[in-house]
Chains A and B, each alone.
Chain A
Amino acid sequence: MKKLFLILASVLAITAVSCEKENKNKGPVTYDITVQLTADNQAFAQEGVTVTVSDGTSSFDASTDENGAAQFTVAAGAYSATASFKKSEAGQVFNYNGNANITVAKDAENTFELPLTASKSSQLIIKEVYNGGCMDNENAKNYQYDKYIIIYNNSDIKVDASKMCIAMAQIANSKSTNKYADENGANTYEAEGWTPASFGIWWFQDGVEVEIAPYGQIVVSINGAIDHTATYNNSVNLSNADFVMYDKESGFNLASAYPAPSSTISESHYMKTYCFGQGTAWPFPIQTASPFLIMPDTDIQAFVKNEANFDNKSTNKSGNYAKIPTEWVLDALDLWSAADETKFFSRFPAAVNTGYQVFTQKLGYTTYRNVDKEATEAIAENEGKLVYNYAGAVDNEKDGDPSGIDAEASIANGAKIVYMDTNNSANDFHLRKVASIKK
């Protein structure tokens, strides 16, 4: 109904204003024309979109009004009308592009539609996961309660991440014993349209603003939002994390995994969860982790307490999986161990992620996202700010960042980084020697 109203309003407006203007100075005769954005054969009411009309030698720009219409005054002739813009919605970036040929003529209706096609890319991505722990100062034991994840806005549009949640898929590390593996070793839930979330899903507290600026990030402490470097030189300082997974009332209350967060972190920045299994800690693996980001279209707190949303393939109280609709998934990372490579089992549907990144635990390594070189260099503001010859990968020769751009150094220079997002963990990530927040 609303769309119908917009269309009628547009037609009336066009009819009212599209008329020939007599050139009193005997110059070319011009006409007022209207270019209306459309999508799916309906008016697309997006204000402020720049529409360009060009005849090859001259071009004219105009912004759309609140109804998605742009006004031009041009001479009769053949033109091409184009528009390109991005729109952020539910943590994803929709790229709209339109291109239409129009002919302006005397006595014609001179109202034109500019159909848009949309493609989407995830605006919120996992930039980095630090989960393998490090060796202690005496190089005697590994320490692992310093895990964190960085959520990144991979677009030039501010994003509201307040409804975003963090989950992990199965922690099973072998296809041979995986009850969801079919005879070909593929997961069986892909065809059913869901992705399993195990043990708990973490969400931001109600009413807390979680806005991430374009090319900005938030650091989420998975364990221990304290300064671990005071005891472990190789570890990281999470006392300044933006958010922390800390919800002792949920049952995740193992003191070593969840020391009291630093007083510098507001209680409102404690992420909450419902533990739908037994255990005193969210068992985020130190090697074969499989984190993913979701943007639910329903109340996640009610969702995880409804038995209908679970796959009750439990053999004990810790084996239940929440069935996350795959369309909710924004981004995912699949980490695997070298020792079990032959038993690799893709824990995500192909639409979410394919491929895996081989991870080595205990050495302070982190899984870091590769830079989308072309997109990053295409940002004009990055001129002179990008730092090349990146050498921070564990294996720069075989498994480094192909872009060669040192993302963290470039960011420090003021550059805006666009990271690779091909939904393939093998292509999109590399192993970095040092956690990015470790200065």
Chain B
Amino acid sequence: MFRKLSIILTGIFLSCAYLSAQKACVFAGSVLDNSTGKPVEFATVMLEGTEQWAVADLQGRFSISNVPSGKTVVTIACLGYATWSKEIIISKDITNFKISLKPDNLALEGAVVTAKEDGNSATTSRTIDKTALDHVQLMNLADISSLLPGGATNSNDLTADRQFNIRAGSAENGNSSFGTAVEVDGVRLSNNASFSEASTLNSYKGVSVNNIASTNVESVEVITGVPSVEYGDMGSGVVKINTKKGKTPWMLTMSTSPNTKQTSISKGFGLGVSSSGAAKGVINASMEYTESFSKAMSPYTAYNRKQVSLSYMNLFNTGIFSSAPIRINAGITGNLGGMNTTADPDAVQGTWSKGRDNAIRVNLSANWLLSKNWITNIEFNASAAYSDKSTSERTHNSSPSNKTVFHGREKGYFIEEAYVDGAGIPAVKSIPPGYWYNVMCDDDRPLTTKLSLKANLAKHIGKVNNKVKAGADWSTDRNFGIGKYSEDMATAPTFREYKYCDVPTINNLGLYIEDNLLAPVGNGKLNIIAGLRQDNTAIKGSAYGISSSLSPRFNVKYTVFTSKGRRNKTVRELSFRASWGLAFKLPSLGVLYPIPTYRDINVFTSKSDSLNQYFSAYYIQPRSVDFNPDLRKQRNRLLELGVETDIAGNKISLAAFWNRTIDSYRIGCDYERSSYFYTPGTEQGTLPIPEEDRVFSIDQGTGLVTVSDRNGNIAPQILAGSIWRELVPRYYADNESGHTDRYGLEWVIDFAKINPINTTIRLDGTLYAYRSLSTDIRAVCPYTLKSAQDNLPYQYIGWYRGGDSYSNGSETRSLRNNITVTTHIPRIRLIISMKLEASLLKYSRALSEDADGAELSNVISNLNDVLSTTGESIYSGRNYVVRYPEYYTTYDDPTPRNFLEDLQTASGALKMDLVQLTSKSAYLYSFCKDFISPYFSANFSVTKEIGDRASVSFYANNFFNNRAQIWSSKTASYLSTSQYIPKFYYGLTLRIKF
């Protein structure tokens, strides 16, 4: 099917290339400043229908040749000016098209301080522009989620890592933030190569966006629907951050709030002209310093970012590029920062922890406008994102006896040894009694690079506009860190060397083709976008080899009518859209190569001498699996239906979505049958060798402990012991076999402006549902227990569907609605907004069932019971529940046994052992529905421009300081709202241009 699809798309591309009989025109003119009449250099002129463009020169002049005749939308944009856009008809050469751009300020009508819907997109896409970002004074870009429909405001804090999470909750299954693609000026930010940040057990996080300078952001586009096939390595949405580029005056920004201080300065300046008269380009430079404290009362544990950005833009349209200009954009951003507790007087003296958040992001892009019949333009992009997320911690340690720590990675028996410089690192190391400091570091330096090449062909075929793009991108993820190490190995705590830089690089070649057809149908317009992406992931030097995946994506939009000519109609605009697609999330290095773990089993311990020192021996067993041949890529099925309309000036946008995450990455676990030789300490009592003369050694292969006489007077003695058997867990990369479903409805209603009071009202919200079940059979063994039957390590493995917890999933529903009232008075350049965030429904319930809905847990009438006799549904009300394994196996016999039957007939010690495989919920309400009563929070923001030189913004979040209690129906108790809404918080920003 996919092959056919590829052929069809390629056919479309080629046919478009040759179906051309249109007249080629010139579109030229100049761009001027509306207020001064001066030329606006570096303004970008874009013909959206044909994807042709030009950049205004020093005199504001531009020219685009080979423009096909027909209708097109001209868009002219420049930093510092309001974007101008209009549909025009080009039927002949236009050589003196003059446009006056208005400076972008609050004197203009139509300033928006919320997310703007992209009405032209065939899927849900919203943009938050500089005006909105300045107005709400975001310090952390992850907080833009509060501007999306139904969004909730978070505390404006940088001391905790924050990620984007599109159409998902933060504590949900399915690694949703890991699957959210984030790009800054085309540079993909990702956690694919990070070990320290990417994963906790069974949960992979997305990249932290704390180190993006918020003052340098011009706009953020959030694609929550089904994005173009251009975007690979994602699951549920794309966030595109655009920084400032172009010529600007000096801009100084100073912000303060109880926990955060921020200063930034930026300037965009032209480089003049060369001797040949060509522009040398424009550079925009920006610097920002931000410091954020976790506690305003004790401002010592702080996160800071010190960021410098340079962007360069130029147009080459002379010489060989005179007929085919090329536009170059290049940028480099460096950030130094991170967390630091060194100055914290509350910490133990001499101890600190530091976490770097250093980054270098480099991007180079070239857009070559060929304007040929067979190709319109070629875009080339190269980018790299290098981060230093290393952490270090200086700890204060002490021990009254020798401290045993582990560094060995080899399987076998090892005796505890002191560290001696130059003698290698002991597998089991002894740190002498006393006090010491140690600095442990985790060197994590991920690098993500990407090269992409894309060809576009835009054509008018009669009234049909068709755009085809085909491209390829090559991305790599690798890590240059050396992992954990200590500055002093003599006192280093337990760690095993695991060099991240030795982990193979993930390479991915993405190939895609997409056709975007816009055709009149009836009185309306039909827009069809069909694309196919193939990702080929190769991991050199790994058993994983090459893995391919195909991601088809479709978007269809039918615009029944636009507002043109319908000013007096009740329904002025109406369009419908539908999207469907697949998206694959590449694994991270942490997914493929989990940091190895080890089981260190104490097999012998001597007695302590008068200096509190003793010898011990351990059996070290590595317990990671390097390769899982059944590992699959995590994928998302995306479906979205939408409608946009304008009813009597009230713009309404509705989007219904369904997003299913399949094969989400997780850490799997199985149990290896292990046996080792154990020597009890009591064997020492009968030794003829005096205690002070004993020297212990262990055979690395057999585990036999030998005691020798230091003086050689008595022959060495081998201590008696016995073989112990233990089920040792091993961890490996795995997929969740169950799936996670998210679905919901989003709405945005922009009511018609109330002109007498310059006020607009927006109502936005979301009805969201989530349901996730883990349904694969998982082995669980409480292997550290001792059997009641023989006092030896526990020998049973329980096999549970979705794990041994009484619950294997959960479902939630929420209904959030926000009302934003914005009063914008252009005359006095003032904008005031008040936003009421309301949670009208917040529901959750734990689940325990298989994929067919059969319940997995069982009701017991008394918490003291082990056997269920009631037969009631766990969802029937307030019940105690017990969970049994589906079956169980033993160390000796992997044949599944009927757990319940054996439990019913067992008694005494056997029953005591089997009971360990059951799990219960401690509370009667474990499966009760939890409805949290509605709660509200109100935010207030005001921005005032003082002439053209300055502006002031103030905000107060939760300004009613709502601390009301809310009711939980599950626990039948009141909760504090503080866990759901931010505390009262305020801030002030002053911006000066000069």
Contacts and interface: CB of A to CB of B under 8 A. Distances in A.
A141 B512 CA distance: 59
A311 interface: yes
A249 interface: yes
B788 A305 contact: yes
A230 B611 contact: yes
B916 interface: yes
Contact of A255 (B433, B602, B906): B602
Interface in B667-719: 678, 680-682, 684-685, 691
Interface string A197-239: 0000000000000000000000000001111101110010001
B433 A305 contact: no
B855 interface: no
A260 B400 contact: no
B897 interface: no
Contacts of A141: 348, 396, 398
A319 B922 contact: yes
Interface string B206-218: 0000000000000
B911 interface: yes
Contact of B919 (A256, A262, A266, A316): A316
Given A249-B791, A275-B785, A275-B786, A260 B401 contact: yes
Nearest to B906: A307
Given A260-B614, A307-B907, A317 B785 contact: yes
A140 B349 contact: yes
Given A232-B400, A256-B399, A278-B785, A313 B605 contact: no
Contacts of A315: 806, 919-922
B608 A259 contact: yes
Contacts of B908: 305-308
A384 to B, nearest CB: 39
B786 A274 contact: yes
B614 A312 contact: no
Nearest to A309: B912
B400 A230 contact: yes
A179 interface: yes
A231 B606 contact: no
Given A267-B684, A317-B916, A280 B784 contact: yes
B920 A313 contact: yes
Contact of A308 (B605, B609, B682, B907): B907
B922 A138 contact: no
B313 interface: no
A322 B685 CA distance: 33
Contacts of B678: 249
B contact residues, range:
35 or more
A263 interface: yes
B404 interface: yes
B372 interface: no
B614 A259 contact: yes
A310 interface: yes
B691 A231 contact: no
B434 interface: yes
Interface in B889-938: 906-909, 911-912, 915-916, 918-922
Nearest to B416: A255
A280 B792 CA distance: 15
B721 to A, nearest CB: 11
Contacts of A296: none
Given A267-B682, A307-B908, A140 B791 contact: no
Contacts of A179: 863, 922
B791 A250 contact: yes
B612 interface: yes
B607 interface: yes
Interface string B371-404: 0000000000000000000000000101111011
A311 B864 contact: yes
A270 B435 CA distance: 28
Contact of B912 (A146, A310, A319): A310
Given A307-B908, A313-B922, A317-B782, A136 B608 contact: no
A253 interface: yes
A319 B915 CA distance: 12
Interface string B567-589: 00000000000000000000000
Given A314-B920, A317-B785, 8 more contacts: A136-B398, A138-B435, A231-B612, A239-B612, A251-B784, A261-B608, A262-B607, A307-B788
21 contacts: A145-B400, A224-B400, A228-B400, A231-B398, A231-B433, A232-B400, A248-B605, A251-B786, A253-B602, A259-B612, A260-B605, A261-B607, A274-B786, A275-B786, A278-B784, A305-B909, A312-B864, A312-B865, A314-B920, A315-B806, A317-B916
Interface of B: 348-350, 396, 398-401, 403-404, 433-435, 602, 605-612, 614, 616, 678, 680-682, 684-685, 691, 782, 784-786, 788-789, 791, 806, 863-866, 906-909, 911-912, 915-916, 918-922
Q: Report, nearest first, the 6 A-B pairs whose CB atoms are least far apart.
A: A260-B614, A315-B922, A259-B401, A307-B911, A307-B912, A263-B607
